[in-house]
Amino acid sequence: MTEATISHTKKHQFLSGSTLKIIAMITMLIDHLGAALLYSLPGCYPQNTTPLFNGCPFTLYELYGTFRNLGRIAFPIYCFLLVEGFFHTKSKEKYAFRLFLFALISEIPFDLAFNNVFFTFKMQNVFWTLFLGFVCMILLDRQNQIAIQKAQAPNVQVSNTLLIIFIFVGLATVFKTDYYGLGIILIAIFYKYHNQLKKACILGYFSFLWEPFCFPAFLLIPLYNGKKGLNLKYLFYLFYPLHLLLLYTLRLHFTT
């Protein structure tokens, strides 16, 4: 790699992992403000053409839609950071356990915020998707090691890889985790093309065309500079259930 190439890379890759995490957290908060709070307010329906206030170009429903669209940026970034964490963590088992633990902790706040009930199987929080995606990567990693050790034929390697991904796509779909099996597919793409970031983003966006407003996420991810940045290890873990409880409290205040 030439000096010019190195300089070019540093110039255009200026976002640390912590910066991406903060962007994802902010856009997720905006999304959840729309889904958990605005949508529950009187007048938040398409037929209501009354502006929020005099001179405002938005109705309440249009503001809700704008918040939801901005929120599409968060999930692809979280998937990318999950894969980065997978390749850099000292203990994959501890990482997986943290995801599982906070999936359990977050389920009641998630159900309260979005379904207004203490517990329901209607949909499960995003930590379950991230947990399943992480376990999927562990098995894919082991499959790669076995393929090398046993000199598996390419068609056998591909079949085993697809089988593992298919199983976890099925699990996420059956248990109705956030983003369902499509979330697992995106994680698998980032895992497979971990060293080909632009390719991963192109394929990732095409896999998420049903969520077209996620596009900015796939523009931000290639700006990642490979550095951790600020130590925000537990910020997202704590922020997720706490902000959901706060939104539930705010909804009770504004709708009762």
Q: Comparing C-alpha atoms, which of 148, 114, 133 is closest to residue 189?
A: 133
Judge whether residue 67 has pLDDT over 80: yes
In tens, the pLDDT along 121-163 reads: 999 999 999 999 999 999 999 999 988 888 878 888 899 999 9
In tens, the pLDDT along 23-58 reads: 999 999 999 999 999 999 999 999 998 998 888 888
Min mean pLDDT across 46-50, 52-56, 74-78, 249-253 is at 52-56
CA distance 133 to 79: 9
In tens, the pLDDT along 108-119 reads: 999 999 999 999
Give 231's pLDDT tier (boundaries 50, 70, 90).
confident
Q: What is the pLDDT of residue 225?
A: 94
Judge whether residue 240 has pLDDT over 90: yes
Q: In the chain, pLDDT over 70 holds for what percent of residues?
A: 96
**Contacts for 99-104 with beta carbons within 8 Å, 24 or more apart?**
99/127, 99/130, 99/131, 99/134, 100/127, 100/131, 102/127, 102/237, 102/240, 102/241, 103/127, 103/128, 103/130, 103/131
User: Cβ atoms within 10 A of the Cβ of 219, count?
Assistant: 11
DSSP character for 36?
A: I
- Amino acid sitting at position 71: G
Token representation of residue 223: 């700006």
